[in-house]
Amino acid sequence: MEEKKGMPLLGDDFPKMTVQTTHGMKNLPDDYDGKWFVLFSHPADFTPVCTTEFVAFQQRYDKFRALNTELIGLSVDQVFAHIKWEEWIKDNMNVEIQFPIIADTGKVADILGLIHPGKGTNTVRAVFIVDAKGKIRIIFYYPQELGRNMDEILRSVEGMQVSDKNKVAMPANWPNNEILKDRVIVPPATSNEMVKDRLAKAKAGEHECYDWWLCHKELKK
C-alpha cells in the first residue's frame, strides 16, 4: 500500500492498494480496470443508518451495474463483523448484500481522509466515484448523522458518463432541470471564433442559446 501523500482530489488516480474484503483480497483500482466503481465508507457495522444505506445500495445494485459500475463498501471493522452483519441484513431485511465490503485496519481510511476528528473517531460517510481508467471523478463527504441519497449517487455516475461521451455539461437537477428539463449544456465558448460558431450553429438549429455563453441541446439517444 502506498504511503499517504495527502487526501486524494478530483482528477487524481485512485491510490493503489491491496485490501481484504468479504469477497477476498482485491487490488484497487486494478481489479476494476475498464469499470467504474463507487467506494463508500460507513461508520460501523450493526448501526441503524448504515443498515438502511446498505439496503438502499443493494436495491439499486442492478442500476449501477447497468452503468458498468460496481459498488464497494468500507468501514474500520473486521471481515468477520462484515459477514455477520450481512447475515443479519439477509435474515431480518430479506436483502442479500452482493457487493464486497472492505475490512479496513485504518490504513485505507487514513489514505482517503475518511476520519474527520471533528466528527468522531469513526469514518464519515464518504463516497468516491472512480471512472474506468481509475481516475477519481467525484467525492462526497457526509456526516455520520445523515444517510446518503443513493439516487443522487446513481445520477452522478450517469451524468458523468453522459458528459464524457457527449462532451457536454449537465444542468442542476438533470435530467429534471427546472429550465432545461433533460437537455444538456454545450460547453461555453472561450474565444471570439467559438462565439461565432455557437451562434451560427444555433441559427442552423443544432442547439438553442439564451446567449452565446448559455447554449443547450437535446441529448441524442
CA distance 23 to 36: 18
Q: Which amino acid is at 167?
A: K
Task: Give the CA distances from residue 86 to residues 93, 108, 133, in Å, rounded to whole numbers and listed in that order.
Answer: 10, 21, 30
Active-site entry in 50, 101, 103, 168: 50
Q: Which three-class secondary structure string do you get for 111-159?
A: HHCCCCHHHCCCCCEEEEEECCCCEEEEEEEECCCCCCCHHHHHHHHHH
Is 209 a residue of the active site? Answer: no
Task: Give the three cell numbers for residue 128.
Answer: 468516491
3-state SS class at 5? coil
- Positions marked catalytic: 50
